[in-house]
Structure 1
Amino acid sequence: MTQVGFTCNLPVVVMAGGGDFASYTGGFISFPAGTYAQDPNGLITTGSSPQEVATKAAPVLTGVPQDGPTFYDSGIHRWVPVSAAQSSADGSSYAYATTGASSSEGATFHIVNASTATQKTFTVAVPNVGASNGVQVMEYDGSGVYFVVTQLEAYPVGVWRLDARTGKVTALARVANVMAVRGGYAWGGAVDPHDPTPPRVAASRMLFDSIVQESLSSGAQTAWFYSPGRSETLLGLASGRPVINIGDGPDFPLFGGEVRLLDHPSSGAEDSGQLVYGGGVALSDPQADGDRVWFGSDRGIYLYPADGTLQKVYAVAPSQAGSITKIAPAGVCR
C-alpha cells in the first residue's frame, strides 16, 4: 500500500451480486489517509424491472449501467444508475435502453433528467444485425444517443444514433467489433492479416491482435496498437486515450494481463505506449483525473500517477473480500 501525497476525496462504487440481483454501493475514499466511508445516499440496487437498477435516494432514478459501473455525478451531487459515458457532459441528463422479450418488440430509449427523475421515452425498431440479444447505449452527449445492437458470442457490428429530441434513428459507420464509442469515433478490435500467429482459443470467443479507431462519419480507420500473437481488449478511455489489456496464450485472458496506456496512434511495431502494469491483478474501469489515472479491481483501488509508477492506494477490507465483485473509481478526486 502506498500513501499518496495529496488531499482529496475519490468517489468509488462497490459492486456485488449478479444474475437477477445487482448492488452498487457508492462511497468516498479520503486521501492521504486512504479511508473509505459509505455514502448513505449511494445505494443502487435492482429495481422493479429485472433490467433496471434504481437509487434508494429520492427522487428515485432508474437506469441500466451499459458501459461500465454506476458513477457519482458531481454536477448534481448524486449517485446515478448508469455509467459515466451515458451521461451528458454537464451531468444534467442521462440515457439508457431497455428491450422486450424479443427484438421484434423493439427497444425503448429513456432520456432522464438526473435532478428531477422525469424522463421521456422513444420506442424504436431494433436494427437488423442477425442474432441480436439486446441494445446497449455506448455514449450520450446530451443531443444524441449512440448505441449498438449486442449479439450472441460476438462483439457488436455497427453504431446508430438516436436523436434525443425527435427519436429519429440514423445508421452511422458499420464498425466491426465495437468496444467503445466516444466523441465521434468508435473503438474496436481487429486482426492484422500480417500476423503469422493470430490469437485463437478453442471456444467461440473472438480475439484481436489490434486496437483500431474508426470515424463514425467517414468510416476512416486508424490503427492504434498491434501486437502479433497476443490478444488486446479495450479496458476504457482515459481522457480520450485508450487503456488496453494484453492477454497471452494459451488462454488470452480479458483481464489480469499487461496493461498499457496509448498516447497516440501506432507508428510501427516498436510503438507500444506506456506500460502501466505487467500483469497479475485484473485492473479495470480506468478513470482519468488530470495527469493521473485511477483503476478498480477486486482487490482495491490503484493509481497510475504522472511519474509512471502504478501504486495500490486502497485495499479491499478482509470483511468485504468474499462479498463484493470489485471496487471501481466513480469520478475524479476532489
Structure 2
Amino acid sequence: MVSWYQPNASGGVDLPPIGVQARYVSYPRGAISADAADEFTHVDDGFGWRSSASPVLRGTGPIGYYDAAVKRFVPVPRAQVSPDGRRYVYMDYTQGGLYVFGQIHVVDVATGRDRTLDLPAAEYEIFDFSADGIYLTYGPYAESAGLWLLNPDSGAIRQVFQDGYVVAVANGEAWLVVSEQDLHPTSPLPGGEGNAKLPVLNVLLRRDVKSGQVTEWLRRPDTAPGFELLGVYTGAPAVLIYLAGENDVRWSTGQVPYEVWLVSRPATPEKVGAGLNRDLETDPWYRTGRNGLGISDSNGVWLGGSAIYLYQHGAGMIKVATFPGFPANGCM
C-alpha cells in the first residue's frame, strides 16, 4: 500500500498543494515509511508536477499513482497509466481563454520522454488509458456528448459513440449520465455562468464500449437533484445522493442530508456513507472520489483524506493509518 500526500497546518490535505510527498504505508499495521519514495513540486508553467527523481516526470495530476511495473510514482491518476505501466497520458494547461485548455502528452516512464500528440489544443477529459487506446472527450468545459478513442502512437482519433455524457470509463465499460427526458443527448451540456440551466441528469447508464450494449444502472426521480459519480470500484459505481430538492432552505445552512451509495448491481444500491452537506469535505468517499483517487483491490476500496481508510463489504469503513493522505495504489 502506498500513499501520496501533503498535509496542511490543520492536518487536512491540500489539493493541489505546492509540493507532495509519495510514501509507502504498510497494511494492516498502518506504519508509514521513514523515507519519501519521491517528491514532486508544482511548477506554474502549465505542465503541473515535476518529479525530483530522474528521469524527470511531468504531469498535471491532480495527484498521482504508484506504477509498480517500473517502481516509480507518476504524476497522474491510475486511469491515465497504460495497462503495462510503461506509459502515461496527461493534458497540459498551457493555453487559456474562456476556459483552460491544452494538448495531450504521452510519457515513457523509463526514459521520461514526453511526446506531444499532433492534436488541436482543447479541453480534454481523459477517462482511461486502456489496451485499446486512450478514451476521452473534449470541447468547451469538456462537456461534449459521446466518447472518443485516441491512438497513443499515431495520434489518430475516432468517435466510439456520439450520445450521452460520459463520466468514467473502466474495464471496457463507459459510465454515462443522462436525463430521462432525453436518453440519447448529442448536444454539449451548457456550461459557464449565465448559460442555460443544466438538465437534471437522473439516469446512470453502463455502456460496453465494444458491443454498444447499454444497461440502466440507477435512476433517480427527475424532481430530485442530480447525483454525482464518485468513482467506479471493480465495476461498482459510488454515487453521491442529496436528500433534498434544489429549493430546500437547508442548502443555505449546510443541513441537507446526503448518502453515498455503492451500486454493485443495477438498481441495488448499498448505503456506505451519510451525513450533512456541510461536512462533505470530511467524507472519505467524497474527498477521494472528487479527485479520482480511489483504488480498489482484493482487500476492498482504499480511500483517503484526513487518514487512510479501507472500505470492506460487511465490515464497513476501517481506518488503516492516521496520517493524512490518499491512496496511490493498493497492496502489493
Q: Answer whether TM exceeds 0.5 for this pair.
A: yes
Matching of residue 184 in structure 1 with residue 184 in structure 2: no
Give the partner amino acid of 1:113.
Answer: D
Which residue does the alignment assign to 2:320?
313
Q: SS at 1:307's partner residue?
A: coil
Matching of residue 78 in structure 1 with residue 72 in structure 2: yes
Equivalent runs, 1:134-145 vs 2, <5 Å: 134-142=123-131, 144-145=133-134
Post-superposition shift, 1:107?
5.0
CA distance in 2, matches of 1:51, 1:245: 31
Matching of residue 331 in structure 1 with residue 296 in structure 2: no
The normalised TM-score by structure 2 is 0.75
- Do the aligned partners of residues 172 and 97 (structure 1) sit closer, same or farther apart at CA in structure 2, a change above 3 Å counting? same
CA distance in 1, matches of 2:214, 2:298: 28
Which residue does the alignment assign to 1:171?
159
Which residue does the alignment assign to 2:187?
none
**What root-mean-square deviation, in Å, do the aligned CA atoms of Structure 1 and Structure 2 show?**
3.3
Aligned-pair identity (%): 24
Give the partner amino acid of 2:79.
Answer: A
Equivalent runs, 1:257-268 vs 2, <5 Å: 257-264=258-265, 266=266
Which residue does the alignment assign to 2:185?
none
Q: SS at 1:37's partner residue?
A: coil
Provide the aligned length of Structure 1 versus Structure 2: 292
* CA offset digits 1:15-44 (Å, max 9, x no partner): 45557x643321122233323336423222
Q: SS at 1:85's partner residue?
A: helix
Which residue does the alignment assign to 2:311?
304
- Where structure 2 has 5 or more consecutive residues not aligned to the other structure, the ranges are 7-12, 183-192
Which residue does the alignment assign to 1:324?
none
Which residue does the alignment assign to 1:6?
none
Select 1:234's aligned residue among 229, 241, 256: 229
Which residue does the alignment assign to 1:5?
none
Post-superposition shift, 1:260?
1.9
Structure having the higher strand fraction is 1
Q: SS at 2:175's partner residue?
A: strand
Post-superposition shift, 1:99?
5.4
Post-superposition shift, 1:86?
0.6
Q: Is the 8 A contact 1:173 1:218 kept in 2?
A: no
Which residue does the alignment assign to 1:46?
42
Moved more, 52-61 or 307-316: 307-316
Q: SS at 1:69's partner residue?
A: coil
Q: SS at 1:123's partner residue?
A: coil
Q: Is the 8 A contact 1:11 1:329 kept in 2?
A: yes
CA distance in 1, matches of 2:101, 2:268: 42
* CA offset digits 1:117-155 (Å, max 9, x no partner): 1233312135xxxxxx61122111255122211534x74
Post-superposition shift, 1:241?
2.0
Give the partner amino acid of 2:237.
Answer: P
Which residue does the alignment assign to 1:32?
28
